[in-house]
Chain A
Amino acid sequence: MYSDAACFFTRIENYNPDHVACLRMAISENFQISCSRLSKRFVNRGETLTAFEDISFQVRSGEFVCVLGPSGCGKTTLLRTIAGLETHTDGELVVKTSRADGNPDIGMVFQEQALFPWMTVYDNLAFVLGNNPDFLQAEIPSIVNEFLVKVGLEKFARYYPHQLSGGMKQRVSIARGFATRPEILLMDEPFVFLDFQTRLRLHELLLSLWQSFQKTVVFVTHDIEEAVLLAGRVIVMTARPGKIKKTIDINLDRPRDIFAIRHKKLFLGYIQTITELLKEEMQSLEIE
């Protein structure tokens, strides 16, 4: 499912020249993730449903990219494909890794509740660390504690997820995402069910964690403000079948002050631009 640079050239023969060009670039330019004309179709009882098609984009190492699009346009499916949980139907996907075994290190924060309810907060983190051969058993307690402190939950280490609030659970999920120090962090609308204030706090937390660890982040959302606030680049998708409508670079300084930034002309400009794009999308749907 994954291919690193070495085995990639042996596989490429079967693909069309477009892909080859795109992927050659991926190798030379140090892209962590590159998709070339990626498509995913589901077959349900003989009916074909295209989740997304013709998706081409690259993500540099350390970049923060948001994927924005209306509900059902295939954002979750795209993220799952990058994570290797779903196989794509067409096109080529390269996820580069510096690991010897060729398996990229990925952390994922899911849209649904994905903590293990039978493990305490501590164990939820310790479990994924303990399973990873890169970590010594002896260093796990201090790593878990370090990340729980970062998300402000060190006092809740012995709690079970059902004893926490929604925002606290999501903070644990974020801590788990960062704890294994993955090369890539995939986040699927992690804040969608939270109230506005909690979201603000978590945006701040996420940005500061990203700032200090410089992970490659692909963050899926359907909230325009959230996308502009967090990302260095926003990929706007069309309604299903999802294609890339436009990619917008967000040239706002970092580190960002999530309160002050809201009053900046540039910030509001981006929001307006993207709103227009989505409006077009809605109108084109009505014509259909």
Chain B
Amino acid sequence: MNSVRNDAKRLLIYTISPAVLFVVWEICARAGFLDVRFFPAPSTIFYHLFFVSPEEGIVTDVIFSVYRIFAGYFAGCALGMMLGIGMGLSHLLRMAFYPLIIVTYPIPKIAILPLIMLIFGIGDLSKIVVVAIGSFFLVLMNTLHGVDSLAKIYYDVAAVYRISRRNFIFRIVIPGSLPSIFTGLKLAIGYSLVIVVAAEFSGADKGIGYLIWQSWETFSINSMYAGIFVIGVLGFIFSYTLDLLERRLVPWKDKK
């Protein structure tokens, strides 16, 4: 009960700084300090977003982008977590995969998009795959770091009490690495948004990225801002949900 109230309070506090920004922006736009051709007032953008964009099909765009993000994100995170834990626990797996990973990790995922589109076509699948690849690396690296930095004493306790392999993995290694895994999950969700929008700029006929690109081509500034605003809101919802999940699943870490 108490934690629900805290969550609501936190959500309220989180809206303060964006609200202040919008108010200042609105005032500047109306007072003529900003060129409204490039920086339309927030009230204009919101009006457009709620009354014009739905007519133009923004809801479909959002659904498509979110679907691509979720499919790619969950697949990439699941694989990243599994391989990260596997590599953390098995020397053989680490030796086999680590060289491959440190070579492929720094390649910008957008750089391989054309290749992915050649292989998986220009439909949803290529976007999902590129999001999955991006999430995979971030979660893998952070999971591996989490397993590696697990205190040695826990291995000793496990050895003294002859903890079974299964219990060792599920009750010691995974919970112990969870703070680090969450760092990966949070980085990956933000990165997934970036990737999906970039991927939709070219070779898509739906999606938020497509909407923004289309607005650029037709010089429809308000639609462009509507798209950008929706991305911001999605980013907020995703991060907030992950924060919430982290506080529930890692209650033993003191949080700010």
Q: Is A128 an interface position by the 8 A CB rule?
A: yes
Contact A110 B156 (CB under 8 A): yes
Rounded to whole Å, the gap between the CB of B74 and the closest CB of chain A is 24
Is A127 part of the binding interface, using a Cβ–Cβ cutoff of 8 Å? yes
Indicate if B190 sits at the interface (CB-CB under 8 A): no
Flag the segment in B24-32, B76-84, B131-139, B246-254 that touches A.
Answer: B246-254
- Given A118-B178, A162-B252: A131 and B164 within 8 A (CB)? yes
User: In B161-188, which residues have CB < 8 Å from any A CB?
Assistant: 161-164, 167, 171-172, 175-176, 178
Interface residues of B in 114-168 (CB under 8 A from A): 153-154, 156-157, 159-164, 167
Once the chains bind, are A116 and B159 in contact (CB under 8 Å)? no
* Contacting pair A128 B251 (CB below 8 A): no
Residue of A nearest to B171 (CB): A127
Question: Is A108 located at the chain interface by the 8 A CB criterion?
Answer: yes
Q: Pick the contact of B167 from A107, A110, A131 — CB < 8 Å?
A: A131
B157 and A110 contacting across the interface, CB-CB below 8 Å? yes
Assess whether B161 is in contact with A114, with CB atoms less than 8 Å apart. Answer: no
Cβ contact of B162, chosen from A110, A112, A130, A131, cutoff 8 A: A131
CB of B106 to closest CB in A, whole Å: 32
B164 — which chain A residues lie within 8 A by C-beta?
A: 131
In this complex, how many residues of chain B approach chain A with their Cβ under 8 Å: the count is 20
Query: Which residues from B are CB-within-8-Å of A162?
Result: 252, 254
Contact B167 A127 (CB under 8 A): yes
When C-beta atoms are compared, the residue in chain A nearest to B159 turns out to be A85
Min Cβ gap A12→B in Å is 26
Pick from B157, B167, B171, B175: contact of A114, CB under 8 Å: B157
B160, B172, B176 — which one has the most chain A CB atoms within 10 A of its CB?
A: B160
Query: Closest residue of chain B to A130, judged by CB?
Result: B167
Contacts of A113 in B (CB 8 A): 153
Chain B residue at minimum C-beta to C-beta distance from A162? B252
A162–B179 Cα distance when bound, in Å, is 15
In the bound complex, residues from chain A placing their C-beta under 8 Å from that of B161 are 128, 131-132, 180
**Residue A210 lies at the interface, judged by CB distance under 8 Å to chain B:** no
Roughly how many angstroms separate A252 CA and B159 CA in the complex, as a whole number? 36
Contacts of B163 in A (CB 8 A): 128, 131
Cβ A83 vs Cβ B160 within 8 A:
yes
Q: In the bound complex, what is the Cα–Cα distance between A107 and B162 (angstroms)?
A: 11
Q: How far is the CB of B135 from chain A (nearest CB, A)?
A: 24
For A163, the closest partner residue in chain B by CB is: B252
Partner of B156, one of A85, A117, A131: A85
For A120, the closest partner residue in chain B by CB is B252
Residues on the B chain within 8 Å of A267, using CB: none
Is B160 in contact with A85, judged by CB distance below 8 angstroms?
Answer: yes
**Taking the complex as formed, is A103 at the interface, i.e. its CB lies under 8 A from any CB of chain B?**
yes
The minimal Cβ–Cβ distance linking B178 to chain A, given in whole angstroms, is: 7
Cα A84 to Cα B175 in complex, Å, equals 26
Asked if A57 is at the interface of the complex by the 8 Å CB criterion, the answer is: no
A114 contacts B178, CB within 8 Å? no
Q: Is A156 in contact with chain B by the CB < 8 A criterion? A: no
Residues of A within 8 A of B251 (CB): 160
Inter-chain contacts of A85 with B (CB < 8 A):
156, 159-160
A160 to B251, CA, bound (A): 9
CB neighbours of B156 from chain A (8 A): 80, 85, 108, 110, 114
What 6 new A-B contacts, CB under 8 Å, besides A127-B167, A131-B162, A161-B252? A110-B157, A116-B171, A117-B252, A119-B171, A131-B163, A162-B252
A-B contact pairs, 19 of them (CB 8 A): A80-B156, A84-B159, A84-B160, A85-B159, A103-B162, A107-B160, A108-B156, A108-B160, A110-B157, A113-B153, A114-B156, A116-B157, A116-B176, A118-B250, A128-B161, A132-B161, A160-B251, A161-B252, A162-B252
